[in-house]
Structure 1
Amino acid sequence: MLGSSRGTRLAAALTSAILLLATAACGSDDDSGAGADKPAAASGAFPVTLAHKYGSTTVKAEPKRIVTVGLTDQDAVLALGKVPVGTTEWLGGYKGAIGPWAADKLGGAKAPAVLKDTGTGPQTEKIAALRPDLILAVYGGLTKAQYDTLSKFAPVVAQPKEYNDFGVPWQRQTEIIGKALGQDAEAGELVDGVEADFRAAAGKNPAFAKSTAVMATPYDGIFVFGSQDPRSRVLTDLGFKLPAGLDKVIGDEFGANISKERTDLLDTDAIVWIVTDTAEDEVKLHKNALYADLDVAKEQREVYVKEAGDYGNSVSFVSVLSLPYMLDRLVPQLTAAVDGDTATKVTEPTS
């Protein structure tokens, strides 16, 4: 996750960024990163002011050179018909940091430059060199110092204050970015479309609404995702209930490792495991006597998602573009897990 920079590093970054702004050649002024058929912002959409964790930011005119610091913000930008000039890599190592669920949105445009978070925060110099006129950090965890630094180069829309860092729902993320791009109505239509997919899946699977579920990963013990994590919201948007007392144990975080004494939190009607290796991690989990004794394990109501690969990446990405791709694969697994027949095997998607 994003960390804060020390004062000396910040000063060096500012100096380098200013030099890069003056000397770097990053394409022509017409290289906006948008496709030829980019949609126009609504008439009268600008200026627009957006509230966030560190106050508010005003976008004075339709942005042409967008950099996404938020780890999944590029998908909402692409869904609204624009291509960022810079994106921040999180999962998959994809060209332009654009997953397969979003690749067709590039059209004939050049893939964005890919930035990396090395643990010390956004790559300030590289962002400045891209000459952005809007920096999006909606699905992120910018510190105040990082926000102030980036704001020297362009308007910055940071994470909303009403959610934990990295906890903004995909619906709200899409709406915020739509507003920043002057496309409120289009963003609303995108959200409505994906929410219809959730309703359709829930309607075909009434057992979801009668079931509990949780998402976890065997990382450094057992790490469970809380109610504010987008992965958990996938389950609740499908109708599942999370374990009672989950957030009390996790606290004000997107997730946490649970103690052996709280292994009971995993005894749900279905559990989604995000794992490195399906076969190996299943064996390791079932060697844990406390877990193996739970009904969810004994009755094999487990859904395994291999974290490496397009499907696993989409489960963690949780964006307006990745969700339809992910639901096509996750819903059949969840359906098998809660069908009431212990003989039903929960299989992994083949593609």
Structure 2
Amino acid sequence: MLGSLRGTRLAAALASVLMLFSTVAACGSSGSTDDAGSAKPAAPGKAWPVTIAHKYGSTTITSEPRRIVTVGLTDQDAVLALGKVPVGTTEWLGGYKGAIGPWAAGKAAGATTPTVLKDTGTGPQTEKIAALRPDLILAVYGGLTKAQYTTLSKFAPVVAQPKEYNDFGVPWQKQTEIIGKALGQESKAESLVSGVEADIKAAAAKNPAFAKSTAVMATPYEGIFVFGSQDPRSRLLTGLGFTLPADLDKVIGDEFGANISKERTDLLDTGAIVWIVSDTAKDEAKLHKDALYADLKVARQNREVYIKETSDYGNAVSFVSVLSLPYMLDRLVPQLAAAVDGDPATKVPAPAA
């Protein structure tokens, strides 16, 4: 809890920021709505106004956004792919400059580095976001609460996560299309999606063994955490042709992933398993000391892919964005191909540099 003095100062600062943005909003051209309100868009331009539905109603954007803040953990990649550089990004993985991974860095070359915000578990950094004077806040790959959405909407139009998916469960295709619409670049977004989907289909076609195999992604986090069918990482596996374990979602429930009990270790006995680990050698050794896991065919037949979560490759695997996917495919596909080649003697290769 904040002390009373600090709380008073923060409240005063926030009130000043809100007053500033109330003045700007009165003269501005963008509006945000929820189920209880309606937007009043300005005169339409070439691509605007556009209205985007989401978990908390809908948001209308009435002119071209120029000061974009991304609260969604991977939303910056779609913005960059569409030719814009956010003024603020939210850090999730990697500690990269501007929260922009190496797979996307070229898209921001020559531009001002975005201010990096942090979500420490209590939600977006409201005051820092307000200070950036945004005219659009994107929270598509995210988990905003209604209260957080309402607060951020006082500063700028907010596009929250779509209601038809779990929080942090929006497919990268839908994410790119939503952001493309917000930025007035729907056709370019569709083209970007089609190009990456073509890469995935080509990889699947070159590796017909994928379609004959099951696969799952997991991490040894507080036991064993398995990613479900609504997680972007799992969707990549199915996009490549793999089938997920039959009972996976039944065990996980309505979440992007969950820890499984020892009794459901059988879910890991797939044609290939992708482990996202903190230390490749140590975590592999630890897993193989577990008698239940070590006895599974996937472990005994060397059908495991280990990816260090703190590497650029590991971060790309977790991002699953329109920009990280090509980078990831170049490394993951050869490893999966080795894992399902039917020969236990085949060693899964180290990822490409």
TM-score normalized by the length of structure 1: 0.90
Following superposition, the deviation at residue 348 of structure 1 comes to: 1.9
State how far apart, in whole Å, the 2-side matches of 1:150 and 1:11 are: 20
What's the counterpart of residue 151 of structure 1?
A: 153
1:235 to 229, 234, 237: 237
| Aligned-partner SS, 1:62 | coil
Following superposition, the deviation at residue 12 of structure 1 comes to: 7.3
Is the 1:75–1:102 contact (alpha carbons within 8 Å) kept by the matching residues of 2?
A: yes
What's the counterpart of residue 34 of structure 2?
A: none
What's the counterpart of residue 27 of structure 1?
A: none
Compare relative contact order (CA 8 Å, sep 6+) and give the higher one, 1 or 2: 1
Is the 2:98–2:116 contact (alpha carbons within 8 Å) kept by the matching residues of 1?
A: yes
Count of matched residue positions in the alignment of Structure 1 and Structure 2: 329
Within a 5 Å distance, the mapping from 1:112-123 to structure 2 comes to 112-123=114-125
Following superposition, the deviation at residue 20 of structure 1 comes to: 4.3
State how far apart, in whole Å, the 2-side matches of 1:141 and 1:147 are: 10
What's the counterpart of residue 16 of structure 1?
A: 13
Is the 1:21–1:131 contact (alpha carbons within 8 Å) kept by the matching residues of 2?
A: no
The percentage of counterpart residues that share the same residue type is 80
Within a 5 Å distance, the mapping from 1:61-76 to structure 2 comes to 61-76=63-78
What's the counterpart of residue 289 of structure 1?
A: 291
Q: Which runs of 5+ in 2 are unaligned?
A: 22-43
State how far apart, in whole Å, the 1-side matches of 2:93 and 2:8 are: 30
Following superposition, the deviation at residue 107 of structure 1 comes to: 2.5
CA 1:191–1:155: 2 relative to 1, 3 Å? same
Is the 2:272–2:304 contact (alpha carbons within 8 Å) kept by the matching residues of 1?
A: yes
State how far apart, in whole Å, the 1-side matches of 2:77 and 2:8 are: 32
Following superposition, the deviation at residue 10 of structure 1 comes to: 9.8
1:131 to 127, 130, 133: 133
What's the counterpart of residue 39 of structure 1?
A: none
Within a 5 Å distance, the mapping from 1:171-210 to structure 2 comes to 171-210=173-212
What's the counterpart of residue 347 of structure 1?
A: 349
| Aligned-partner SS, 1:105 | helix
2:271 to 260, 269, 272: 269
- Please list the CA deviations of residues 242-277 of structure 1 after superposition, one character each: whole Å capped at 9, or x if unmatched: 000100000011111101110000000000000011
Is the 1:305–1:348 contact (alpha carbons within 8 Å) kept by the matching residues of 2?
A: no
CA 1:264–1:12: 2 relative to 1, 3 Å? farther
Following superposition, the deviation at residue 298 of structure 1 comes to: 0.3
Is the 1:134–1:155 contact (alpha carbons within 8 Å) kept by the matching residues of 2?
A: yes
Following superposition, the deviation at residue 325 of structure 1 comes to: 0.2
State how far apart, in whole Å, the 2-side matches of 1:291 and 1:118 are: 34
Is the 2:330–2:352 contact (alpha carbons within 8 Å) kept by the matching residues of 1?
A: no
- Report the aligned-residue RMSD: 2.0
